[in-house]
Amino acid sequence: MWITLLGVVLRPGLRAQLPGGRVGGPWSIEFRDPADNHLMSVLKGNRGNFIPGGEVQMATAEVQSFDRAGRTNLIVFATNCAYNLNTKVVRSADALRVQSGDGRLILLGRGFSWWQTNSLILISNDVRTTVQRVSTATNPPLVVESRRLEARLDSNVVEFLDAVKVRDPEMDLDCGRLVVRRGPEGDLDDIRALGGVHILNHRDGSTLEAEEAWYRTDAGGEWVELSGQPRWNDGSRSAEARWFLLDRAANRFQAVGDARILLPRSFRGLAALGAAGDSTSAAAPAEQGMVELLAGLVTLQLPPTNGPVREVTARTNVVIRLPAEGLEGHAEEAEYRPDGVVRLRGTPSWTWGDRSGSGDLIEFSTNETFRIEGHAFLRLPVEGLESVLPGGPPGAGDAPLTLTNTFVEVRSEFVDYRDQWIRFGDSVQARCARGVELLGTLSSRELLVAYRNRVEGVTARGDVQVEQSPTTGTDGRVIARTLAAEELTATLAPDGRLRELTAHGSVAGTQTTQRPDRSRPEEGRLLCEDLHAWLAPDTNRVDRLEATGGVRATLDTRMAWGDRADYAAGDGLLRLSGSPLVLLPEGRVLGADELTLHPETGRVGGRGRFRTYWRPDSFDTNALRVLNAPHPGDHP
């Protein structure tokens, strides 16, 4: 595309003194500028016939044009020419040769017309031009071919028309029209290709297509602009936009306006939050394993030689897609750096099937880690955390859990994922929901989630507060639960159900039960230092429980103390050991090796010698019967 012509500067209105009759030898005519009389060009011929009506027929013709310093700009050689004295037009159907004064440009063609009045020259057939772009270059010259050529010789502008072909050691260019301008120093500083532009880069095999390509140089550097829905492809990468700009000095490429770029995927980042085959995308085969980038402006820092793109920056309505996985991210600004990290800013967010996240800054990298900073939000499928506080006494009527369409949503100041752990920090607020139904909430200072394609376990630390939304059992009872502790850990089974629950530090659990046959709800409360619960595999009920360290259990008006408490769903008894004490409205029981309390019926039993005390106003047959009624496992 680097081609130019030096113009012959001819002005209308000059008077030529032509010899009369027939000339058998060499002759010449000078054309001077009427303003200052400086020599503009000289028309030379060898033999000539002067035809009545004002036409001169020349066997050979040569035109030399000069700049104001008197240097030769352009030399035109032609044969069998006719010069009309009235119209001041030179025509020939024969071959034409044009050569620049410095010898760097040679143009050949067949059939031409030259208007002296406006310095316009037209070449109608078989135009072929060779240009040595830089005077010191040793590379082969650039070659331009076209069917026709138009030029204003006084303006140093040349237009190649129809089926234009530019061949260069670096590239091939084809277009419908090529406009070339040469600078004052003779270098090519302005080239425009228009109409069906197609460029093939020999270095990397990439292709460019556009309606217009503009090459220019200035004090700031060397530029190539492409417009008219340009498209670029090198086999593994592609780009399209309203406009392309290539800064050749900085090796920087920009796609402007509705830009779309496909790059080989060298990072997964957020996509690590799912199984490799877990894809809902119907991506085209050409887009498998690719990253698709959409934005108002995309800037690529190209490598000095063939290789991966070094940096990518995108701004305005940025969308990043991994078509094969169905992952999509949105932001106002995105950048990819050589360290393999992608950063999204400007209300960034991402979705991947039923997973999503947002924050002030999102970054993910080649080592399958990601981080969200500032107003972080993450939504993941849970499959098993519907009840963080499962359990209840036998007969509570807990229904089997529904594991589909269940999600956990977490808000915090930051989220960090690495080594298959998601860490939430500072003022964590989590909620679990099945569809639009809220199942429970959790708050803490820090939250750790083990995530290997699904939630496997959860650890919350610092001022942990858990609340389960009220649930209705099959017997009509409505149960709500809360739990507070300094640390809470939940482990999930492979099928996604909650398997174990461990709490440490000032543990306080409550359960409120509203029975359909009672107007006032019942409240049960358990206080201890450490709590460990195992869940039944088919429901969200506690199968077994261990509590240690200052255990205190209350059920309405009944209270129990001990150093340790054990619960088993088989018999439904809460067993207290370590100086156990049970306090009832009727009295108290203490001094046994083990005391048992049935949370459902309120019955009390014991093992070993124990003492009982009761209030005198409550001492009656019914009270004694309740206090001392035999119970499975009791030993009076």
Q: Which residues contact 76 (CB under 8 A, 6 or more apart)?
A: 8, 61, 62, 63, 64, 96, 97, 98, 114, 121
pLDDT value of position 392: 35
Tell which residue, 192, 200, 158, 193, has the closest CA to residue 175.
193
pLDDT value of position 253: 86
Question: What CATH topology corresponds to 229-375?
Answer: lipopolysaccharide transport protein A fold (2.60.450)
More confident residue, 634 or 416: 416
Of 3-7, 278-282, 563-567, where does mean pLDDT reach its minimum?
Answer: 3-7
360 pLDDT higher than 50: yes
413 pLDDT higher than 90: yes
More confident residue, 332 or 235: 332
How far apart (Å, rounded) are the C-alpha atoms in residues 549 and 563?
5
How far apart (Å, rounded) are the C-alpha atoms in residues 141 and 129?
10
Handedness of CA 628, 629, 631, 636 (dihedral sign): positive
352: confidence class by pLDDT, cuts 50, 70, 90? confident
pLDDT value of position 46: 74
| Residue 393 CA to its chain's centroid (Å) | 51
- CB of 432 closer than 8 Å to CB of 388: yes
More confident residue, 245 or 273: 245
624 pLDDT higher than 50: no
Q: Which residues contact 91 (CB under 8 A, 6 or more apart)?
A: 81, 82, 84, 112, 113, 114
538: confidence class by pLDDT, cuts 50, 70, 90? low
Q: Mean pLDDT throughout 361-380?
A: 85
Q: How many CB atoms lie within 10 A of CB 581?
A: 17
Backbone angles phi, psi at 162, to 5 degrees: 70, 115
Backbone angles phi, psi at 552, to 5 degrees: -140, 120
Is the CATH number 3.40.50.1110 carried by domain 382-528?
A: no
Question: Measured at the alpha carbon of residue 285, what is the angle toward residues 319 and 349, in degrees to the nearest 5?
Answer: 20
Classify residue 493 by its DSSP letter: -
| Residue 84 CA to its chain's centroid (Å) | 67
403: confidence class by pLDDT, cuts 50, 70, 90? very low
Of 12-21, 505-514, 591-600, where does mean pLDDT reach its minimum?
Answer: 12-21
Are domains 1-201+211-217 and 229-375 of this chain identical in fold? Answer: yes
pLDDT value of position 108: 93
More confident residue, 391 or 141: 141
How far apart (Å, rounded) are the C-alpha atoms in residues 106 and 152?
17
Mean pLDDT for the chain overall: 78
How far apart (Å, rounded) are the C-alpha atoms in residues 111 and 187?
28
pLDDT in tens, 16-27: 444 455 666 777
626 pLDDT higher than 80: no
271: confidence class by pLDDT, cuts 50, 70, 90? very low
More confident residue, 70 or 575: 575
How far apart (Å, rounded) are the C-alpha atoms in residues 19 and 549?
127
What percentage of the chain exceeds 70 in pLDDT?
79
499: confidence class by pLDDT, cuts 50, 70, 90? confident
Strands 243-247 and 231-233: unpaired
622 pLDDT higher than 60: no
User: Which phi-psi region, left, alpha or beta, contains residue 154 (left: φ > 0; alpha: ψ -120 to 50)?
Assistant: alpha
Of 137-151, 278-292, 501-515, where does mean pLDDT reach its minimum?
Answer: 278-292
Backbone angles phi, psi at 272, to 5 degrees: -70, -10
More confident residue, 555 or 188: 555
CATH class of 1-201+211-217: mainly beta
pLDDT in tens, 154-213: 667 889 999 999 988 878 999 999 998 876 665 667 889 999 999 998 877 888 999 999
Strands 587-590 and 604-607: unpaired
Backbone angles phi, psi at 397, to 5 degrees: 80, 30
Residue boundaries of the structural domains of the chain: 1-201+211-217, 229-375, 382-528, 557-636
How far apart (Å, rounded) are the C-alpha atoms in residues 562 and 549?
8
pLDDT in tens, 87-131: 888 899 999 898 877 777 888 999 999 887 777 889 999 999 888
